[in-house]
Structure 1
Amino acid sequence: MYDLARYVSDLRAIAAATTDENEILGRVAPLAQKFAAGKKTWLKPGHYETDPEQGFGVHLLHEEPDHSLAVFAIAWAPHDGFEAHDHGTWAVVVGVDGVERNVKYNRLDDRSRPDHAKLVERCTILAGEGDVICLRAKGIHSVWNDSDKITVSLHTYGRHINYTGRSTFDLKTGEVKPVVLNIKQ
C-alpha cells in the first residue's frame, strides 16, 4: 500500500537528490498519481468541506517543520474556483474526485512592476480523477469547478503555499495582490 508516509518519504528523497524543477516535477508526478489512486487510505469525509469565503477548502495532509514538502487535499465548491494565481513553488496537482477546469496563463510583461502583470490565456485543461497538472514556481493558473458537486484534488508543493509570497492576478486590471489561504489542519 502506497500511503502518506511512503509518499512523504519519497518526496524527501527527491528533494534531497535535486533542486531542478523539471526533474522534481517529472519524478513527483507519477508518485502523486499513485498516492491519489489509493484515496481510500487517506481521503476522509472532512476533506470535502469547503470554506464559503474562499470557495474552496484547503486541508493539510503533511508539511515538513521548515514548511517544505506540503501536501493538501483541496475541495472545490460547485460553480466556484480560484482566480489566476501563482504558487511561488513547484506544484503537482492530481484529480481525485470530479473534474476541475484549469486555465494556464503566460505572463507577457517584464515583471518590473510587482503590483501589475499582463497575462494571456495559454491553455485549458479539464483534470479528472488521476489526471496530473504540473506547474513551475512562476507558473500561473486558475481553477474552476463547473459541476454541481464538490470536487477534490491532491496538491503537492515544494513549500507550504502560505510561506511562498504567492499572488493573485486580476485579468481585467492587471493588479497583482498577495494572497494567504485559510487552511484546515
Structure 2
Amino acid sequence: MERSLNPTHRDDDPMINVERTEAVADAMADIRVIDAAGVDRDSVESIRRRLLQLAQRKELFPWSDFPPDDSKDGSTLYLLSQDQDHRFALYMQSVADTTQAPPHDHLTWACIVGLEGQETNRRYEQRAGQGPPKVANEFVVEYGTGIAFLPDDVHSIHVQGGSLNFHCYGHDLLDLPPRNYWDESDEEWRTMKIRYPIIDARP
C-alpha cells in the first residue's frame, strides 16, 4: 500500500491549517519525550492522555477535511505526522459507515482517541499465536475517550455509523513487518498488510 494524495481532501482555511500543524507538532514533541523514557503500560497511558488534549482542539480537525474513501471498505487513513526515520506516526482514521478489523497486534505501541462517532474496541486475553482469541473486555472510543496498547496487545475494531479518530503509533504502519491477525474462517493466526488507503495529509 502506497500513500496517495486525495483530490477531495480540503484545506480551505489557512488559519486552521497553521493551528492544526502547530497543535500536532506540539503533541508529537511531547509524545517523543514520553517514549524516550521507555515504553510500558504507564507511558502509553500518558501518550493517550496527550492525544486526548489534542482532540480537545476538535475545531482543527473537521470531518470535511478528512472525508472517507468511497470504496467498499469505506475507511481511510490520513497521515498527519511522521518522523523521517518512520517513527511516531499520527493518522486520522475516517470511516464512512461500517468497518471492522479482526483481532490483531501492532508490533509497536498504539493509541486511539475519538473525535466523532463511536469505535468499539475489543481487547483479547491472548497474544498472537496463542490460540483462538478470547475477549477480555470491550471499550467504546468516542470524543473525550481513548485506548492505549502495548506492541503485543491484541484488539479488534468495530464501527457502525461512521467515525473519525486519531490513531497514533510508535512506528509508521507501512514500514512495519506484517502484523498478526486472527483469521476466523481458517481459525488460525496469519499476517496482514494495511488494507486502507493512506493519504499523506502533512503540510
Note if contact 1:33-1:130 (Cα within 8 Å) is conserved in structure 2. yes
- The total of aligned residue pairs comes to 177
Equivalent-residue separation in structure 2 for 1:13 and 1:101 (angstroms): 29
Does 1:167 pair with 2:180? Answer: yes
Opposite residue 168 of structure 1, the aligned amino acid is: Y
Match of 2:111 among 74, 92, 100: 92
Matches within 5 A, 1:10-25: 10-16=30-36, 18-25=37-44
RMSD of aligned C-alpha atoms? 2.2
Q: Distance in 2 between matches of 1:8 and 1:43?
A: 20
Deviation of residue 8 (structure 1)? Answer: 1.5
Specify whether residues 42 and 127 from structure 1 end up closer, same or farther in structure 2 by C-alpha distance, changes over 3 A only: closer
Q: Show the counterpart of 2:13.
A: none
Percent identical residues? 21
Q: What stretches of structure 2 of length at least 5 have no aligned partner? A: 1-18
Of the candidates 83, 86, 93, which is equivalent to residue 102 of structure 2?
A: 83
CA gap of 1:43–1:88, structure 2 versus 1, over 3 A, is farther
Aligned to 2:141: 127
CA distance in 2, matches of 1:42, 1:5: 14
Q: Determine if contact 1:4/1:42 at 8 Å carries over to the other structure.
A: no
Report the more deviating stretch, 80-89 or 164-173.
Answer: 164-173
Q: Is the 8 A contact 1:70 1:156 kept in 2?
A: yes
1:136 paired residue number: 150
Task: Give the whole-Å Cα distance in 1 for the aligned partners of 2:76 and 2:163.
Answer: 10
Structure 1's consecutive aligned runs of 4 or more residues displaced over 3 angstroms after TM superposition are none
Task: Tell me the TM-score normalized by structure 1.
Answer: 0.85
Distance of aligned partners of 1:122 and 1:12 in 2 relative to their CA distance in 1, 3 Å threshold: same
* TM-score normalised over the length of structure 2: 0.78
> Could you tell me which of 37, 42, 58 is aligned with 2:77?
58
Structure 1 unmatched ranges of 5 or more: none
- How much has 1:53 moved relative to structure 2? 4.5
Does the aligned pair in 2 maintain the 1:102–1:124 contact within 8 Å? Answer: yes
